[in-house]
Amino acid sequence: QTVKYTFGLEELEQRLAGYLSVPKVIVVAGDSDELPVVKKELGRAVVQQMKNRVRSGDVIAVAGGTTLASAAEMMVPDPRWQNTIFVPARGGLGEKVEIQANTISSAMAMKAQASYRLLHVPDQLSEDTRRSLMQEPGVQEVLDLLSTASIVVHGIGEAKTMAGRRTTSASLRSRLEEESAVAESFGYYVNQDGQVVHRENTVGLQWDELRRDQTVITVAGGSSKAKAIDAYMRYRPSSILITDEGAAKAILEQN
């Protein structure tokens, strides 16, 4: 808390919450683009907010990415995780296995000493395969659980970085550029007005299934993600944004 007042982070939190119309914003000191330790602090803040909101028996949907991998690293056992179930928010999105939603949600659950389910769905599905996989009882069970999630935790990526990091075809990469995609989350790419310009074909939580009665915890930091965070947050439901000083200042400065 002392650190916050020293660096004026509370003021940043309030200004950002007002600008993005998000009920709650948490800003950690530093810029995770410059200092890797800041990403760990983002992860610590995610775990703290999850703990504040969780109730016994809750289903928690967890997406992928390096920021959420930091949150999994910071997870520790606590009575509040009793009887909770961690579920991956989406199937494969062409990422390295360490940062896929399956890996992160199961790692979180194991460290929390809670239960978890896996979503056994490969990347890059055709629409027909996606539909038939969704009928599989094992997949259906996880999708049913996902629809009851009380807490959803996810990151936001910068569109070009995400397309480059994943197995994305050259034609899709140039289409994303033509369509001015700036942000990516849950496999959806959006432009700066929050319009969806592309959706990856995978199963799992869809954006229009996010509910107002859920706690949606969004985490993304680093000044390089300023435009992406802005584009996502102003147009999609989120209860809490956890970001860093670098991103918060860049978002407010660019406007």
Residues that bind ligand G3H (CB under 6 A): 64-67, 155-157, 162, 184-185
Q: With H, G, I as helix, E, B as strand and everything else as coil, classify residue 253.
A: helix
Nearer to ligand G3H, 113 or 206 (CB): 206
Kindly state the smallest distance separating residue 156's Cβ from ligand G3H, in Å.
5
**What does the DSSP assignment read for 124-155?**
S--HHHHHHHHHSHHHHHHHHHHTT-SEEEEE
Kindly state the smallest distance separating residue 56's Cβ from ligand G3H, in Å.
29
Nearer to ligand G3H, 92 or 155 (CB): 155
Token duo for residue 129: 């395969």
Q: Which residue is nearest to ligand G3H (CB)?
A: 65
Task: State the Cα–Cα distance between residues 72 and 158, nearest whole angstrom.
Answer: 21
Kindly state the smallest distance separating residue 228's Cβ from ligand G3H, in Å.
9
Nearer to ligand G3H, 142 or 247 (CB): 247
Strands 215-219 and 240-244: parallel
Kindly state the smallest distance separating residue 134's Cβ from ligand G3H, in Å.
21
Nearer to ligand G3H, 98 or 177 (CB): 98
Kindly state the smallest distance separating residue 67's Cβ from ligand G3H, in Å.
3
Task: State the Cα–Cα distance between residues 238 and 5, nearest whole angstrom.
Answer: 25
Task: State the Cα–Cα distance between residues 177 and 236, nearest whole angstrom.
Answer: 21
> What's the gap between Cα 52 and its chain centre?
18
Half-sphere exposure of 126 (CA within 13 A, CB side): 2
Nearer to ligand G3H, 117 or 166 (CB): 166
